[in-house]
Amino acid sequence: MTAPNTSATVSESAAPGTGGMAAVSRRIGRIAVQSALLAGLWYVADMLTRLAHLPVPGGVVGLVLLLALLFCGGVTPRWVKAGADWLLSDMLLFFIPAAVAAVKYGGLFRADGWRLALVVVGGTLMVMVAVAFAVEQAARLERRLALRRVRHTRHLARA
């Protein structure tokens, strides 16, 4: 199986007058800035967590802080979308250090591996159930709101 020829695509998008290279560099810059802002938010949340001696990781506090900023309008989704999409698409790379660290503790896995596996499987199942429940509730709310809009539109059409 051969790789597709991408040189034609790159040269076409970078053709003079199309702004291809400028658009690509703007996109890369936007991703870099947004990723840096997200990392900065995590850093601030991590420092707050350490200073306040909170029993939760700084990442969780950062996510709650970002969610609050999104809800109150302090941050619009377009300000973080490209950076967040890039971070999520390459998330597997961020778990490599955890896998390497796990190799260092082979004795722990031999002694308590079944307990750790039970916790991981149980935690994963609990997260899956919680997400399924949240998605179901959100879908119900969305259907209710759509039905309310349709009824309101019909009521206005009759009047």
Per-residue pLDDT reduced to its tens digit, 14-27: 445 556 888 888 88
From the list 29, 1, 2, 25, the residue with the least C-alpha distance to 14 is: 25
- DSSP secondary structure code for residue 55 in this structure: S
- pTM exceeding the 0.75 threshold for the entire prediction: no
Round the average pLDDT of the chain to a whole number and report it. 82
- Rg of the chain taking only CA atoms, in angstroms: 23
Q: What is the pLDDT of residues 31-80, one digit of tens each?
A: 899 989 888 988 999 999 999 998 988 888 988 988 888 888 888 888 88
pLDDT at 1: 43
Instruction: Using CA atoms of 83, 88, 93, 96 in order, give the dihedral in degrees to the nearest 10.
Output: 130
